[in-house]
Amino acid sequence: MQDGRTTLSKFLIDTLDRQPASVSAPGLSALLIDVAASIKTISGALTKGALGGNYGAAQSVNTHGEEQQKLDLMTNEIFLQHCEWDGLLAGMVSEEMDEVYAIPETYPRGDYLLAFDPLDGSSNIDINGVVGSIFSVTRVRDDQRDAPVTESAFLRPGNEQVAAGYAIYGPSTMLVLSVGTGTHGFTLEREVGNFVLTHSDIRIPEDTGEFAINASNERFWEPPVRRYVQECKAGRSGCRARDFNTRWIASMVAEVHRILMRGGVFMYPRDFKTPAMEGRLRLLYEASPMSFLVEQAGGQSITGRERILDVVPARLHQRVPVILGSRNEVARIGRYHDEYDRGEDKPFSSPLFNERSLFLPETPA
Ligand code: F6P
């Protein structure tokens, strides 16, 4: 996997700055270097673990009503401080902030918008498990360049992202990034402080025998998802005629990373546990950037019924169902949704087995 000594800066200069003016994205490489600096700082803080004095609840709740951890707030602040000053951003949005963060007037304003989840999978902090950060970069539309940055500037579909990535804080810290020319992984060389290209042009295998879903929600899933999971669980004695493995790390970053490394399917589908919620994961700073990375690596990412990158957000913190990974399996799950919606999936489309029914089918047709 070693690709010599291509550092993140060299990669970005080659990929972005040395391109013809028609395809270049001015300042994007410098912005991504600042994002990478946030990630290094967060990585350093996380490595201290409980000794860093940052464990525990912050005694506050975020916009989703979730209790914030001290590390949620600290990592959010690290992103703001590293990225607000450089004159490249017009505003930021984060899982930990209710409103758009406009760049303070003391700094010049740029044309990019940064959306981020500073600490994904934070329920893993206390158990010293894998966590991550996720980010997405878009550009302010030409007609909004001179206007104050408001929510509407951020409500653009994921297919308009100019860069997206995540950091995974595991045994090593990695930055996985795409600027629209494939998905590439960099490993932090801690002693020197460099991100070094170690996983060039990652490709997700088209087929897989591994899927990840929080199985405790099974009774709330829609029939097409139940059908898929039941078929996988039936293994070689069922219609798939092969055995499948399951995985669940409770950190989207860790699940997506595994899928980029060796294939698989990750699902946080629509469910009826909290009927008012369209899904669990947030579109702007979780689903969209991860979908960009997955598609750039040859995988697929859908809500079940549409491509996630085509979903136009209606709200900053909008949630969305997510099914992503190896393209042939994701396509199959999409087909199951389609068959169900058209009433072709008989046992699962019967009124006896709809979302509100107590009669949940055990086996698919
Ligand atoms: O908030 C997002 C998240 O932590 C994801 O990273 C992860 O996939 C999911 O929530 C875990 O959900 P659950 O608590 O249902 O396992």
Is residue 309 included in any domain, yes or no? Answer: yes
**CA nearest ligand 1 atom 13, residue:** 250
Is residue 359 included in any domain, yes or no? Answer: no
**CA nearest ligand 1 atom 11, residue:** 250
What is the 330 CA–ligand 1 centroid distance (Å)? 20
Q: What is the CATH number of the domain that holds 45?
A: 3.30.540.10
Is residue 364 included in any domain, yes or no? Answer: no
* Ligand 1 atom, smallest distance to 66 CA: 1
Is residue 76 included in any domain, yes or no? Answer: yes
Is residue 227 included in any domain, yes or no? Answer: yes
- Based on the fold, state whether residues 91 and 133 are members of the same structural domain: yes
The answer to whether the annotation marks 286 as part of a ligand binding site is yes
Is residue 365 included in any domain, yes or no? Answer: no
Q: Is the pLDDT confidence value at 1 over 70?
A: no
Q: Is the pLDDT confidence value at 215 over 70?
A: yes
Q: Return the best residue to mutate from 123, 127, 218, 284 for the ligand 1 pocket (most ligand atoms within 8 A of CB).
A: 123
Q: Which of 199, 231, 266 is the last residue of a domain?
A: 199
The answer to whether the annotation marks 362 as part of a ligand binding site is no
Is residue 137 packed enough to be buried (19+ CB in 10 Å), middle (13-18) or exposed (0-12)? Answer: buried
- Based on the fold, state whether residues 261 and 176 are members of the same structural domain: no
Using H for helix, E for strand and C for coil, what is the string for 339-360? HHHCCCCHHHHCHHHCCCCCCC
Least confident of 14-23, 43-52, 180-189, 327-336: 14-23
Is residue 358 included in any domain, yes or no? Answer: no
Helices (H) and strands (E) in the chain, counts: 9, 17
Q: Is the pLDDT confidence value at 359 over 50?
A: no
- Based on the fold, state whether residues 39 and 183 are members of the same structural domain: yes
In tens, the pLDDT along 276-324 reads: 888 999 999 999 999 999 999 999 999 999 999 999 999 999 999 999 9
Query: pTM of the predicted model, to two decimals?
Result: 0.92
Q: Which residues line ligand 1 (CB under 6 A)?
A: 120-121, 214, 250-252, 268, 280-281
Beta strand extents in the chain (DSSP E only): 57-61, 67-69, 89-94, 101-102, 112-120, 131-139, 163-169, 173-178, 184-189, 194-199, 210-212, 245-247, 265-268, 281-282, 300-302, 319-320, 322-325
- Based on the fold, state whether residues 131 and 195 are members of the same structural domain: yes
pLDDT score for 346: 60
Q: Is the pLDDT confidence value at 28 over 60?
A: yes
Distance CA 40, CA 53 (A): 18
Q: Is the pLDDT confidence value at 358 over 60?
A: no
Q: Which of 171, 199, 227 is the last residue of a domain?
A: 199
pLDDT score for 237: 95
* Ligand 1 atom, smallest distance to 121 CA: 4
- Based on the fold, state whether residues 264 and 188 are members of the same structural domain: no
In tens, the pLDDT along 132-189 reads: 999 999 999 988 888 889 999 999 999 999 999 999 999 999 999 999 999 999 999 9
pLDDT score for 274: 83
DSSP 94-121: ETT-SS-EEPPTTS---SEEEEEEEEET
Q: Which of 199, 222, 246 is the last residue of a domain?
A: 199
pLDDT score for 89: 97
Residue-number span of the structural domain to which 221 is assigned: 210-353
Distance CA 147, CA 156 (A): 16
pLDDT score for 57: 83
Residue 351 has phi, psi (to 5 degrees) of -60, -25
- Based on the fold, state whether residues 187 and 107 are members of the same structural domain: yes
The two structure tokens encoding residue 101: 């963060």
Q: Is the pLDDT confidence value at 24 over 80?
A: no
In tens, the pLDDT along 227-284 reads: 999 999 999 999 999 999 999 999 999 999 999 999 999 999 998 888 888 899 999 9
Domain count, the chain: 2
The answer to whether the annotation marks 177 as part of a ligand binding site is no
- Based on the fold, state whether residues 63 and 98 are members of the same structural domain: yes
Least confident of 19-33, 86-100, 190-204, 206-220: 19-33
pLDDT score for 355: 47
At residue 359, what is the residue type? F
Q: What is the CATH number of the domain that holds 295?
A: 3.40.190.80
- Based on the fold, state whether residues 102 and 146 are members of the same structural domain: yes
* Ligand 1 atom, smallest distance to 216 CA: 15
Mean pLDDT of the chain: 91
The answer to whether the annotation marks 214 as part of a ligand binding site is yes
- Based on the fold, state whether residues 165 and 245 are members of the same structural domain: no
Q: Is the pLDDT confidence value at 129 over 60?
A: yes
What is the 205 CA–ligand 1 centroid distance (Å)? 24
Is residue 53 included in any domain, yes or no? Answer: yes
The two structure tokens encoding residue 152: 């509407």
Q: Is the pLDDT confidence value at 85 over 50?
A: yes
pLDDT score for 267: 98
- Based on the fold, state whether residues 140 and 222 are members of the same structural domain: no
Q: Looking at residues 11-24, what average pLDDT do you find?
A: 83
**CA nearest ligand 1 atom 9, residue:** 250
- Based on the fold, state whether residues 235 and 319 are members of the same structural domain: yes
- Based on the fold, state whether residues 77 and 49 are members of the same structural domain: yes
Q: Looking at residues 185-212, what average pLDDT do you find?
A: 97
What is the 252 CA–ligand 1 centroid distance (Å)? 6
Least confident of 53-62, 202-211, 268-277: 53-62
